[in-house]
Every structure is written in C-alpha cells, then in structure tokens.
Amino acid sequence: MVNIIYPMAALCLICAALAVVMLFSKDALTCAMSLLGVLLGTAGIYGMIGAHFVATVQLVVYAGAIMVLFIFSIMLLNLKKFGKDFHVLSPKFLLASLSALSLVGIGSWAIMQWSPTERAQWSNEAMLAAGGNTKVLAHSLFTQHGIAFEAVSIALIVALIGAVTLAKRKF
C-alpha cells in the first residue's frame, strides 16, 4: 500500500481552507470557484483511497456539469458588477495559484507512487472473474462509497438552495 497519509492530509487542509473561503466570501463567483476547488480536492481524496469510479463521477458530474451550471447562473444573474481590474499580485490570486499548484503536485506525486502490483489488482482478468466492470463498479459504489456519494449530493443541494436564497434577496 502506498503511503498516502501526507498527501491526503494536505488535500484535506486545502479543501478545508477553500471551504472557509467559500463560507466567508461575499463574492458569488469566488464562492463558486472555492466550491470547485473543494470538489476537485474531494475527487483527489477519493482517487487516493482507491475509489476511482466515485472520483471520476465527482469530476465529471459535480466538478464539471454542476459547477458549469452554477457559474453560468451566477453570470446570468450578474449578482455583482465587476469593475475591478485583475491584479496578478493580489492575495486571492496568489492563494488560488498556490492551491492549484499544490493540487497538481499532490496528484502527480500520488500517481507516481502507485505501484504496478496495485494496478494489476484490477486487470481485465480480475474484472471478468468478479462479474464484469459494471458489477464491480456498482458493488463498490453502493456498498463501500454510497454514504460519501450521497453526502456530497446533499451538500450540493444545500448549496443550490443557499444560492437561490441569496439571489432572491437581491430582487
């Protein structure tokens, strides 16, 4: 087993920091980008613990489709007029750059540490012996990772309700 304690702890700290930024930011777009960072970090954690299907669903469905919908609705509602110029040396940009570089570095390190014996654990022959790819993925999702998957979906519903509540207050 690969030693993943330190990179996973770093991802958890990054996710927690981005969640705090999301909670205390007054800018809707900053909140959405912080949520995107939390979702990407969560996908990284799922990937590190070996839940690759849940990590892929997290990336495709939540970090991809749902966040595009959030950002698109924020842009359409135009909750805040953007009159400021973009500054590369601002603290927010530096923190976002550091977080992004940390995520890329931790992900790269984790991929490099993944041994060939762990990759061979789910070879084509092993998948066929277990009943096929769909059966293995369904079993993994609904037995080992079902609660985490549903917890993320509930958190997103709560975030959507909060966004609608904030948008209704402006009108």
pLDDT digit string, tens, across residues 117-161: 655 566 667 767 777 767 777 777 778 877 887 887 888 788 777
Share of the chain above pLDDT 70, in %: 78
Q: Identify the CA nearest to 17 among candidates 88, 98, 80, 110.
A: 98
Least confident segment among 8-12, 58-62, 67-71, 107-111: 107-111
Per-residue HEC secondary structure of the chain comes to CCCCHHHHHHHHHHHHHHHHHHHHCCCHHHHHHHHHHHHHHHHHHHHHCCCHHHHHHHHHHHHHHHHHHHHHHHHHHCCCCCCCCCCCCCHHHHHHHHHHHHHHHHHHHHHHHCCHHHHHCCCHHHHHHCCCHHHHHHHHHHHHCHHHHHHHHHHHHHHHHHHHHHHHHCC
pLDDT at 170: 56
pLDDT for 1: 47
pTM of whole model > 0.75? Answer: no
Kindly report the CA angle at 27 between 58 and 16, in degrees rounded to 5? 45
> Which two three-digit tokens encode residue 120?
């061979």
pLDDT at residue 31 greater than cutoff 60: yes
Alpha-carbon separation of residue 25 from 5, 29, 38, 92, 101 (angstroms):
30, 9, 15, 11, 22
Q: Which residues form the domain of 65?
A: 5-169
Residue 140 belongs to a domain with what CATH number? 1.20.120
3-17, 34-48, 120-134 — which is least confidently predicted? 120-134
Confidence bin at 90 (pLDDT 50/70/90):
confident
Mean pLDDT across 73-91? 64
Indicate whether 101 pLDDT > 70.
yes
Give dist(CA 163, CA 159) in Å, integer: 6
Q: Is residue 41 scored above 60 in pLDDT?
A: yes
pLDDT of residue 9: 84
Number of CB atoms found within 10 A of residue 63's CB: 20
- Distance of alpha carbon 138 from alpha carbon 150, whole angstroms: 14
Average pLDDT of span 77-102 = 70
Q: Looking at the 3D structure of the chain, how many domains does it have?
A: 1
77-93 average pLDDT score: 64
